[in-house]
Structure 1
Amino acid sequence: MPRSFTVAQARAAGIPRGQLRGASFSAPFHGVRLRGPIADRSLYERALALLPRLSDGQFFSHETALFAYGAPMPEWPYRPGLHVSAYRPAREPRTRGVSGHRLQTRAPAFETLDGLPVESPVRAWRQIGRLWNYGDIVAAADFLISGAAPLVTAEALRNEVVTMGDVRGGILMRALSDVRYGVRSPRETRLRLLLRDAELPEPEVAWNLFDERGTFVAELDLAFPRYRVAVEYDGRVHAEDAAQFARDADRWAAIRRLGWDHQRVLSHHLLGAGAAAVAIARDALIRAGWTPGR
Structure 2
Amino acid sequence: MPRLAKVPRELAFLPFVGSRAVARGLITKRMLSGQTWHRLLPDVYVHADGYQPDDHRMWCDAVALTLPPGAAICARSAAFLWGVNLLDRQTPVAVVLPSTYRPRGHQRVAVSYQRLTGDDITRFANLPVTTPTRTAFDLGRILPRTDAVVAVDALLARRVVRLDTLAGYLAAHPPCPGIRQLRQVLAIAEPLSGSPMETRLRLVLVDGGLPPPVAQHGVHDSRGRLVGRVDLAYPGWRIAIEYEGDHHRERAQFRRDVARLNDLRACGWLVLRFTADDVLRHPDRIIALVRQAIAERERPA
Taking structure 1 as the reference length, the TM-score comes to: 0.85
Report whether the alignment pairs 1:123 with 2:148: no
Q: Which residue of 2 aligns with 1:34?
A: 46
Q: Are the counterparts in 1 of residues 216 and 232 from structure 2 also a CA contact under 8 Å?
A: yes
Q: CA contact under 8 A between 1:93 and 1:100: conserved in structure 2?
A: no
Aligned to 1:44: 57
Shift of 1:187: 0.6
Q: Which moved more, 1:10-19 or 1:135-144?
A: 10-19
Q: Measure the CA separation in 1 of the matches of 2:286 and 2:92.
A: 31
Secondary structure in structure 2 of the residue aligned to 1:53: coil
Partner Cα separation in structure 2 for residue 288 and residue 254 of structure 1: 19
Q: How far has the Cα of 1:202 moved from its partner?
A: 2.3
1:103 maps to 114
What is the CA deviation profile of residues 71-103 of structure 1, one whole-angstrom value per residue up to 9, with x for unaligned ones?
A: 2416x5x864312235688x5755413233443
Q: Say which is worse superposed, 46-55 or 60-69, in terms of deviation.
A: 46-55
Q: 1:217 to 1:237 in 2, by over 3 A?
A: closer
1:39-76 deviation per Cα after TM superposition (whole angstroms, max 9, x unaligned) = 241322211233333444433112110111122416x5
SS in 1 for 2:128: strand
Q: Distance in 2 between matches of 1:62 and 1:38?
A: 24
Percent identity over the alignment? 27
**Aligned CA distance change for structure 1 residues 114 and 232 (closer, same or farther; 3 Å):** farther
Inter-partner Cα distance in structure 2 for 1:103 and 1:279: 44
Contact residue 72 and residue 95 of structure 2 kept, 8 A: yes
Aligned to 2:24: 13
Which residue of 131, 156, 169 maps to 1:160?
A: 169
2:83 paired residue number: 70
Would you say 1:199 and 2:212 are equivalent positions? no
| Contact 2:141/2:177, CA 8 A, preserved across alignment | yes
CA distance, structure 1, for counterparts of residue 144 and residue 224 of structure 2: 42
In structure 2, distance between residues paired with 1:52 and 1:158: 33
Residue 212 of structure 1 aligns to a residue whose secondary structure is coil
Give deviations 1:19-54, integer Å, cap 9, x for gaps. Answer: 212222221111211211732413222112333334
Deviation string 1:188-207 (CA, Å, 9 cap, x unpaired) is 11111111111122211121
Structure 2 match to 1:177? 187
Provide the C-alpha distance between the structure 2 equivalents of 1:167 and 1:213, rounded to a whole number of angstroms. 52
Alpha-carbon shift at residue 243 of structure 1 (Å): 2.6
State the match for 1:234 in structure 2.
244
Look up the SS of the partner of 2:243 in the other structure. strand
CA, structure 1 residues 261+169, in 2 after alignment: closer, same or farther (shift >3 Å)?
same
Moved more, 258-267 or 13-22: 13-22
Partner residue of 1:288 out of 280, 291, 297: 297
2-structure distance, mates of 1:68, 1:207: 30
Residues 92, 100 of structure 1: 8 Å contact kept: no
Alpha-carbon distance in structure 2 between the residues aligned to 1:130 and 1:204: 25
Q: Supply the AA of the counterpart residue of 2:132.
A: P
- Choose the corresponding residue for 1:209, options 219, 232, 235: 219
Distance 2:296 2:209 in 1: 17
Name the structure 2 match of 1:137.
Answer: 148
Counterpart amino acid of 1:151? V
Equivalent AA in structure 1 for residue 33 of structure 2: R
Bigger shift: residues 41-50 or 107-116: 107-116
For 2:96, the aligned partner's letter is S
Q: 1:157 to 1:212 in 2, by over 3 A?
A: same
1:146 aligned residue (157, 166, 178): 157
Query: Is residue 35 of structure 2 the alignment partner of residue 23 of structure 1?
Result: yes
Report how many residues are paired: 284
1:110, 1:34 → 2: CA distance? 26
Residue 160 of structure 1 deviates from its aligned partner by 2.0
State how far apart, in whole Å, the 2-side matches of 1:188 and 1:92 are: 40
Question: Structure 1: 5+ residue runs without aligned partners?
Answer: none
Unaligned runs of 5+ residues in structure 2 are 1-9
Name the structure 1 match of 2:7: none
